[in-house]
Amino acid sequence: MTEFIVLFLLFYTWHALGVTIGYHRLLSHRSFSCPKFIEYFFVLGGYLAFEGSPIWWTAIHRAHHKHSDTALDPHSPRFGLKQAHMGWLTAAGYPEHICPETQTKDLLKDPIYKFLEQGGSWKRAHSLVFLIGLTVRAVIWLCFGWVPALASLLAGFAVLQIPLMLNVICHIPKLGYKTYASKDDSVNVWWVAILAMGEGWHNNHHASPGSAKTGMRWWELDVSWLIIKSLSKVGLCRNLNVTSHARMMKQMPQAALVLDSMPKHRKAHRSKAMVRS
């Protein structure tokens, strides 16, 4: 049992960082640069968590930021929790306003990502990610036994729920707090940040999407940023785009100052009002 728990936690960490660092902060937002082998290491962790084609994921996420909490947002809770959680995944293909050929030109240059995209067919790309994911676990079983294979599989499925859950919970104002006056419903949710290696500081992220760091306050633990920062110190990450709470205060002083000056029991209510304003 101890072996399974240790392996599950190790796989969970790799897969989760694959989503947060690989798919999100690197591919979707280009908040830093790194050698290809580092990029592929993280992206592979996300892909084996059944996250789908990196091009598809990036196109959807960039559209989410461009149209956040509007009718063109692929997964806003404003239009139904079921649709925001998994309903949007059942679409036959890209809607008209999302075009990978124009919105993810940077990724289409990579032959591996282009292959995983399967010509833009969601059905084929989703089938491929599950086929490869299950095949890798079968190989692990044959080489190392069922314990690491099962730990890897369950960790992958657990991490799969992170962005699906975050899309809903971190866009429901009453479930978190809003530090910066972004024009959408994004809020910071501490326990999501723990499960998602720092991604739960979602209002911070929407206020400054290109930042490699999302935990702006000292108590906002951002594991993904700590990994990126550590890699930068040994020369494996470069060109870091990083903002800070002080800089955000200068850009959006009214929202931040109002929250800072409020009693704790009133902050959540005020956050909700800001979102709707």
The pLDDT, as a whole number, for residue 257 is 40
Q: What is the pLDDT of residue 252?
A: 67
Residues 51, 23 contacting (CB under 8 angstroms): yes
Which residues are bridge partners to 177 per DSSP? Answer: 188
What does the pLDDT read at residue 255? 52
Give the pLDDT score at 253: 55
Q: Locate the domains of the chain by residue range.
A: 1-169, 173-277
Contact between 207 and 182 under an 8 Å Cβ cutoff? The reply is yes
**DSSP string over 104-164:** -HHHHTSHHHHHHHGGG-HHHHHHHHHHHHHHHHHHHHHHH-HHHHHHHHHHHHHHHHHHH
Note whether 77 and 185 are within 8 A (CB).
Answer: yes
Give the residue ranges of the chain where pLDDT is below 50.
254, 256-277
Q: For residue 23, what are the contacts with CB-CB under 8 A and spacing of at least 6?
A: 43, 46, 51, 54, 57, 58, 61
Tens-place pLDDT, residues 18-69: 999 999 999 999 999 999 999 999 999 999 999 999 999 999 999 999 999 9
Beta bridge partners, 33, equal 238
- Beta bridge pairs of residue 188: 177, 201
Contacts of 263 by beta carbon, 8 Å cutoff, 6+ apart? none
Distance, in Å, from the CA atom of 204 to the CA atom of 162, rounded to the nearest integer, reads 18
